[in-house]
């Protein structure tokens, strides 16, 4: 199904930036063409791939849940698709296995709001259970796990005892946080809008469709390369303990977020940015240069944990 939409002036921005996706969706009659995405192209599955030492396995994962609290809410749907990828050039090659399942929550009920978002009802999940042994095996066979919001999906996965240990041992990557979408001219990093910018739309918020739509976006650019390069870059957590109250606006504007439990502003920075960050905190945040922020190196395997 092809949807043709009228051209709006905002797309001139993209045209001026000469982004590759404009060539895919921008028409001479000043309309844009948006295709409906239902599934990955069949030729991806039909590829004959002779696996070499330069190839490995990765898994794209998504969860749907009863809410946002990993300590109290529960997964009601999971989807994983394992891919062969090129370990040196960093691109997806071929999907080789999938697993998806609904799951009846034990402690929670599916609210009307969650049904509205996900399309999943209480009746849909009744009697359904995720086979966590399959999830554990697929994760265990993968070099890394990729989610579009790993800061949400990883804590949800690691709250499940059957899979927590194997997940905690893996590298998690995030297509939301580890791609600089704004610098590429994208107005939003939300997956549904990224798909529109790449010339397609899909029925979102069902886990398997979400991970396949994400893969379809990744296949259209060097995004996985950027994600993995960022994943390899050493990071440091900056905790602005005892920062003056009046500095909250400048910290927020500089990308810091409030840690309500610990009562300080915090942010991750790459190791090469650390010295510049220290200068910023000394000059702009702490009075009279008495900077007492704390700096904690983050292990590559600990990113996006709760």
Non-local (6+) Cβ contacts of 81 within 8 A are 59, 60, 95, 97, 98, 208, 211, 212, 215
* 89-135 residue pLDDT tens: 999 999 999 999 999 999 999 999 999 999 999 999 999 999 999 99
Q: Are 78 and 118 in contact (CB under 8 A)?
A: no
- Whether 58 and 199 map to the same domain: the answer is yes
Kindly tell me if the per-residue pLDDT of 260 is higher than 70.
yes
Q: Give the residue numbers spanning the domain of 29.
A: 2-33
How far apart are the C-alpha atoms of 247 and 257, rounded to whole Å? 12
- Whether 160 and 193 map to the same domain: the answer is yes
- Whether 167 and 213 map to the same domain: the answer is yes
Domains in the chain, number: 3
Q: Are 304 and 268 in contact (CB under 8 A)?
A: no
Strands 200-201, 144-147: parallel, antiparallel or unpaired by DSSP? unpaired
- Whether 111 and 220 map to the same domain: the answer is yes
Which of 176, 196, 231 is the last residue before a domain boundary? Answer: 231
**pLDDT bracket for residue 69 (50, 70, 90):** very high
* 146-174 residue pLDDT tens: 999 999 999 999 999 999 999 999 999 99
Which of 204, 231, 258 is the last residue before a domain boundary? Answer: 231
Lowest mean pLDDT segment, chosen from 9-18, 145-154, 184-193, 284-293: 9-18
- The burial class, CB within 10 Å (0-12 / 13-18 / 19+), for 254 is middle
What is the pTM assigned to this prediction? 0.84
Non-local (6+) Cβ contacts of 153 within 8 A are 61, 62, 63, 147
Kindly tell me if the per-residue pLDDT of 213 is higher than 50.
yes
Tell me what pLDDT residue 291 has: 92
How far apart are the C-alpha atoms of 219 and 146, rounded to whole Å? 14
User: 33 versus 92: which is more confidently predicted?
Assistant: 92
- Whether 190 and 266 map to the same domain: the answer is no
> E strands of the chain, at which residues?
2-6, 31-36, 55-65, 75-86, 91-102, 144-147, 171-174, 200-201, 235-240, 257-259, 264-270, 294-298
Query: What is the strand order of the sheet 31-36 is part of?
Result: 2-6, 31-36, 200-201
Tell me what pLDDT residue 203 has: 84
Percent of the chain exceeding pLDDT 90 equals 78
Mean pLDDT of the chain: 90
How far apart are the C-alpha atoms of 11 and 18, rounded to whole Å? 11
* 41-53 residue pLDDT tens: 999 999 999 999 9
3-state secondary structure of 15: helix
Residue 53 belongs to domain with CATH number: 3.30.420.10
**pLDDT bracket for residue 19 (50, 70, 90):** low
Kindly tell me if the per-residue pLDDT of 277 is higher than 60.
yes
- Whether 48 and 169 map to the same domain: the answer is yes
Which of 197, 231, 265 is the last residue before a domain boundary? Answer: 231
- Whether 60 and 24 map to the same domain: the answer is no
């Amino acid at each position: 199904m092809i949807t043709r939409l009228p051209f709006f002036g905002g797309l001139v921005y993209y045209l001026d930036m000469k982004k590759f996706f404009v060539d895919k969706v921008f028409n001479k009659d000043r309309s844009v063409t948006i295709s409906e995405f239902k599934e990955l192209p069949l030729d991806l599955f039909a590829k004959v791939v002779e696996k070499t030492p330069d190839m490995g396995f990765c898994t794209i994962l998504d969860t749907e849940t009863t809410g946002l609290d990993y300590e109290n809410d529960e997964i009601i749907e999971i989807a994983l698709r394992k891919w062969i990828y090129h370990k040196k050039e960093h691109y997806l090659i071929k999907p080789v296995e999938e697993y998806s399942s609904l799951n009846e929550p034990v402690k929670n009920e599916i609210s009307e709001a969650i049904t509205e978002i996900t399309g999943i009802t209480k009746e849909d999940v009744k009697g359904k259970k995720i086979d966590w042994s399959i999830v554990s095996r697929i994760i265990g066979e993968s070099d890394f796990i990729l989610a579009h919001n790993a800061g949400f999906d990883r804590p949800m996965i690691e709250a499940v005892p059957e899979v927590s240990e194997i997940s905690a041992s893996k590298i998690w990557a995030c297509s939301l946080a580890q791609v600089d979408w704004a610098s590429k001219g994208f107005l939003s990093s939300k997956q549904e809008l990224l798909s529109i910018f790449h010339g397609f739309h899909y029925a979102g918020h069902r886990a398997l469709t979400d991970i396949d739509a994400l893969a379809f976006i990744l296949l259209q650019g060097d995004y996985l390369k950027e994600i993995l390069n960022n994943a390899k870059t050493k990071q440091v957590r900056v905790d602005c303990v005892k920062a003056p109250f009046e500095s909250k606006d400048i910290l927020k504007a500089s990308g810091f977020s409030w840690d309500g439990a610990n009562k300080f502003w915090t942010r991750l920075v790459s190791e090469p940015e650390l010295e510049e960050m220290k200068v910023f905190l000394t000059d702009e945040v702490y009075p009279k240069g008495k900077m007492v922020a704390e700096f904690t190196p983050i292990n590559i395997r600990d990113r996006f944990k709760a």
